[in-house]
Structures are given as structure tokens and as C-alpha cells.
Amino acid sequence: MRYDVLNILRVKNDYISGEELGNMLGVSRAAIWKAVTKLKNEGYNISSVSKRGYRLIDNKDVLNENEVRIGNIVCLKEVDSTNEEGKRRAEKGCADGLVIVSDYQSTGKGRLGKSWSSDKAKDLYMSIVLYPDISPMEAPRLTLIAGIAVSEAVNGITGLDAGIKWPNDVVVNGKKLCGILTEMSAEIERIKYVVIGIGVNINREGFNAELSDKATSVCIETGKKYRRALFIDEIVSRFMKYYGIYRERGFAALKDDYNRLCLNKGKIVRTIGNNVIKGRALGVNDKGELLIETDTSIVPVLSGEVSLRLEGDRYI
């Protein structure tokens, strides 16, 4: 019921008395007062003035299950890492496609053992739990699909021009906006579960000196604040659509979408690792491997095996 009150306050955008609210919803003024108290405790900024009633003061970005359109979601205030929470829930057999988001991660994880910092209730920290019927070798393709979903969602919502730095950093104006960390539990042949962790910098207004020339946020790029729920809906619905296509027709059906967004394509790149490969990136193949054209051959590079340095790159 409290979210019905919230919806009325949103539409009204002015004071409305407890009595009128009560009449609209068929409940008592006391019930309205209780609902408003709960909403305030959840973080909504509601002014109560005697004889005038209640008014929603600003459309603060509160994140809860009511704010999103997708159904299969758990919204937490704080967690160690949404990926860790996803793994714990997968071990207990949670639903396929469960989405976990949190306002804050105390020990958020990045790729290659790095940490992922949290700016409380400003950015998006989200994990999707899946039980795909694929081999562990194919799991990196899910990360590529998540990269497509995030880039398209960012571009659709904001009008920015986000692209993907292979394999899975979403980049705007040469700076990283989103990182994706896929973790799995698997046997030799089959995956038990996969957790796809997505961190998108949304409303953060700045970064420390170490990160400021490598990382950016939607707010820094657009000068505007956004509701995180909007990004959750757009990213998850796009991801689920592409995941469906992938399961039916394989990554080959998504290769062109990925290559259209791939910022490395046509650029000179160099892998980082023991066996350095340098050449022109041609885009990904049907398996999601990046094809690098060297002086002597075309070499497929599997994501997860190497990192990549783009010549002139600012942020590795």
C-alpha cells in the first residue's frame, strides 16, 4: 500500500492531505500516516505539514524492489559483494536469472584480484545468477553479451556513445564507465552456475586522483543524475533478450552487435601476458575470441586468457 501512496505523491507533485489519500486508497488517515513513515524510513524525502498533508520533496534515487520493472530481484542496502551473495544464493538453488543489487559493497571485487570501490547509493552494483547449459569454455561469451547489454542501455538512456573495450569494459570518451566480472562454479564439462557481476558508475560526481583520468560516470559525462532503477531495467531486459538469442543460436548471432560496439576493432592492440601478440584487432569471431592480425597470421585470442593494451590507451 505504501507504494500506492508514493505513486500518488509522485504524480501530484504538491501537498495532498492524509484524508484525501485515505479516500483514494480506501484506508484510514492513520494507515496513510503509517505508510508515509515507512516510506521515510526507506529513504524517501517526504514533507509532512499539518493542515496541508504530504508532499514528495525530490525524486531521490531510492533503490528497492518497487522501483524496478523486472520481477526476479533482491535489493540490499549493504553486502560484501553482490557476486559473493549471488554465489551463496546459487549454492542454495535460487531461481535462474535472479538479480541482486546493493546500495553498497564492503568488499566489491574487480577483475584480476583487484577491488571495486563503492560510492554508497550512487552507482550500480549488480549480479545476475544463471544456470546455463554450456561448457566452462563458453562462459566468457556471457560476459561479452553483458557488455553489449550495458553499452546499449547506457546509450539508450543517456544519448552517450558508450562502446566496449574487449573483452568487457564499457568505455565512454576513453574512460571506463562499467566493469564486468563473471564468476562460475563448474565441473570439467558443465557449468553449475554463473554469476555475472556488473558495476556501472552512474551518479558518482568524481574519482580520486589515481582514477580520475581512467574512470568516469554517467553523471560526470552528462552532468545529470539518473535513477539507478532505470539502468537495472534496461540492462537486465537487454541481457535476458541477448542471452535467449545466444542459447538458441549461439554467439555467432550476436557477433555483429558486439563488433559494432567494439572500440578495439581496426586499432593496433597488444596482449599483456607471457606470449605477447601485437597487431590490428579485426573484431570478435563466432566464439567471442578477438582476432588479431599480426605480420604473419590471424591469431584468435580468448577473453579471460589475456588483457589487452590499446596503443595510446589511458587506463590499463
Cis peptide before 167 (omega within 30 of 0): yes
Task: Return d(Cα 210, Cα 20) in angstroms, integer.
Answer: 53
* CA 192 – CA 150 distance, rounded (Å): 25
Please work out, in degrees rounded to the nearest 5, the angle formed at the alpha carbon of residue 208 by the alpha carbons of 84 and 120. Answer: 45
Q: 45 vs 185, which CB is nearer to ligand BTN?
A: 185
Using CB under 6 A as the binding rule, the residues of this chain from 138 to 157 that contact ligand BTN are none
**Counting contacts by CB under 6 A, is residue 99 touching ligand BTN?**
no
Among residues 117 and 222, whose Cβ is nearest to ligand BTN? 117
Query: What residues between 189 and 228 interact with ligand BTN by CB under 6 A?
Result: 197-199
Going through 72-174 in order, the beta strands assigned E by DSSP cover: 73-76, 99-102, 124-130, 163-165, 169-172
Site membership for ligand BTN, residue 167 (CB under 6 A): no
Q: How far is the CB of 254 from ligand BTN (least distance, A)?
A: 21
* Binding of ligand BTN by 180 (CB under 6 A): yes
Note the residue count of the chain: 316
Report the chain's C-alpha Rg in angstroms: 22
Integer Cα distance of 61 and 11 in angstroms: 16
Tell me the three cell numbers of residue 47. Answer: 514533507
Least distance between ligand BTN and beta carbon 85 (Å): 8
Cβ 252 to ligand BTN shortest distance, Å: 26
Tell whether residue 126 is a contact of ligand BTN (CB under 6 A): yes
What does the block give as the cell for 282? 579485426
The interface region with ligand BTN, picked from 3-11, 107-115, 157-165, 268-276 by CB under 6 A, is 107-115
Q: Does 181 bind ligand BTN (CB under 6 A)?
A: yes
Of residues 62-81, which lie at the interface with ligand BTN (CB under 6 A)? Answer: 81
**Residue 58: count of CB within 10 angstroms of its CB:** 7
CB of 126 to ligand BTN, least distance (A): 6
Least separation in angstroms between residue 104's CB and ligand BTN is 11
The distance in angstroms from the start CA to the end CA of the chain is 49
Q: What strands, in cross-sheet order, belong to the sheet with 278-284?
A: 298-301, 290-293, 278-284, 268-272, 307-310
Q: Which residue lies nearer to ligand BTN by CB, 2 or 214?
A: 214
Choose, by CB under 6 A, the member of 43, 97, 110, 136 that binds ligand BTN. 110
Q: Which of 103, 127, 202, 264 binds ligand BTN (CB under 6 A)?
A: 127
Contact between 158 and ligand BTN (CB under 6 A)?
no
Q: What is the DSSP letter of 212?
A: T
Determine contact, residues 82/199, Cβ cutoff 8 Å.
Answer: no
Total residues contacting ligand BTN by CB under 6 A comes to 20
Looking at beta carbons only, is 132 or 179 nearer to ligand BTN? 179
Residue 293, SS3? strand
Binding site for ligand BTN (CB under 6 A): 81-83, 105, 108-111, 114, 116, 125-127, 169, 179-181, 197-199
